[in-house]
Homo-oligomer: A and B are copies of this chain.
Amino acid sequence: MKKRILISDIAKALGISVTTVSFILNDKAKEKRISEALTNRVLAYVQEVGYKPNELAKSLRTGKTKIIALIIEDISNPFFANIARLIETKAYAQGYRIIYCSTDNRLDKTQELIELFYDRQVDGFIITPTVGLAPTIQRLKDHAVPLVLFDRFLADVQTNFVVADNFTGANEATTHLFEQGFERVGFVSLRSEQSQMMDRLTGYSTAVEKQAKERYTLEVATDSWEQDIQDKLADFIKEHRIDALLFATNYLAISGLKAAKAQRFKMPAMIAYDDHTLFEMYEPSISVVSQPVEEIADKLISILLNQMQGKSKSLREVVLPCQLKIRESSRFIS
């Protein structure tokens, strides 16, 4: 268990000053006019003894931590886990590490997490905001902290964000169901004012109106029990004699499938929002509106890096198109 080697050890060993070593290690040798001979000697020695600077001390001095905070609804949801994975890879390639936490969409927890990571001086934030988070986000903005929201945005504060075109996604899905010949198309979503949920609802409603059909919506409380959701869903379908359904999230759709299985009723035609291995493999395979996860992750990172490196101060509001993947579950069977 030998002691960590310090920059001062290097300096002492070579009989030069700490400053010089630091300059050389931070690629400022040229700029600071350190001779090439010495530069090479230092580099060689550093290599030889395997010196690595103490990142904490470095961060303390520079104010940069090379850490990005990922504050996300739930890392165990495949949609978020996949994005997390992509973000991680891209950040890593640029020398950034990810520190993350799940919020469960709870405002208090989210606020606390942001505060906490802010105190830890992370270099930037990627956040799926909860309703009511605007003041907290505004504060980050006031402190000029690089940040970008995703999956949803906040109307009350202007920030960078990357979201999918949820209106069009839901609209096209609904229209597709009507075009298939279904008449009583329902919409199941979360009781939430999150922008993505609102947009999906509006997308559905607009499509229904255009077809001059009836609207049937079911809003599930975010903190409901699984069993409760299943019961409500079954009732909803039976009561309104729904013949096709659009689910606003993948887990609601899964609850729907579970309900049908447990209570032995036939699931109407359906489309889910956000793809999932299950939907691809299910019998019948489930049609979905899928978000371009790769592009989302790409945009998130590139916007954030730009902000962090001060290359661009301009606001970036990115809306990416969704893709309607038509599979078997939305087919009309007369």
B78 and A76 contact, CB distance less than 8 A: yes
In the complex, which of the residues B57, B116, B282 contacts A282, with contact meaning CB atoms closer than 8 Å?
Answer: B282
A59 to chain B, nearest CB (A): 5
Q: Check: A44 CB closer than 8 A to any chain B CB.
A: no
A238 to chain B, nearest CB (A): 21
A227 to chain B, nearest CB (A): 15
A66 to chain B, nearest CB (A): 9
Q: Which of A22-30, A84-92, A179-187 contacts B (4 or more CB under 8 A)?
A: A84-92
- In the bound complex, residues from chain B placing their C-beta under 8 Å from that of A89 are 102
Q: Check: A33 CB closer than 8 A to any chain B CB.
A: no
- In the bound complex, residues from chain B placing their C-beta under 8 Å from that of A78 are 76, 78, 81
A56 and B261 contact, CB distance less than 8 A: no
- In the bound complex, residues from chain B placing their C-beta under 8 Å from that of A100 are 88, 98-100
Q: Check: A212 CB closer than 8 A to any chain B CB.
A: no
Q: Which of A168-176, A213-221, A273-281, A301-309 contacts B (4 or more CB under 8 A)?
A: A273-281
Cα of A97 to Cα of B101 in the assembled complex, Å: 8
For window 51-100 of chain A, which residues contact chain B by CB distance below 8 Å? 52, 54-57, 59-60, 65, 67, 74-76, 78, 81-82, 84-85, 88-89, 92, 97-100
Q: Check: A240 CB closer than 8 A to any chain B CB.
A: no
A74 and B85 contact, CB distance less than 8 A: yes
B85 and A102 contact, CB distance less than 8 A: yes
Cα of A82 to Cα of B75 in the assembled complex, Å: 8
- In the bound complex, residues from chain B placing their C-beta under 8 Å from that of A65 are 56
For window 30-60 of chain A, which residues contact chain B by CB distance below 8 Å? 52, 54-57, 59-60
Q: Check: A258 CB closer than 8 A to any chain B CB.
A: yes
A94 to chain B, nearest CB (A): 14
Q: Check: A120 CB closer than 8 A to any chain B CB.
A: yes
Query: What total of chain A residues lie within 8 Å of the partner, measured CB to CB?
Result: 45
A284 to chain B, nearest CB (A): 9
- What mask results when residues 94 to 120 of chain A are scored 1 for a CB within 8 Å of chain B, else 0? 000111111000000000000011011
In the complex, which of the residues B1, B59, B116, B278 contacts A277, with contact meaning CB atoms closer than 8 Å?
Answer: B278
B142 and A1 contact, CB distance less than 8 A: yes
Q: What 7 A-B pairs are tightest by C-beta distance, nearest first? A: A76-B85, A81-B81, A278-B278, A99-B99, A56-B60, A283-B283, A76-B81
User: Could you pull out 30 A-B pairs where Cβ atoms are within 8 angstroms?
Assistant: A1-B142, A1-B143, A54-B60, A54-B119, A55-B119, A55-B121, A56-B56, A56-B59, A56-B65, A56-B120, A60-B60, A75-B81, A75-B84, A76-B81, A76-B82, A76-B85, A78-B78, A81-B81, A89-B102, A92-B101, A97-B99, A97-B117, A97-B120, A98-B100, A99-B100, A100-B100, A254-B281, A258-B281, A276-B277, A278-B282
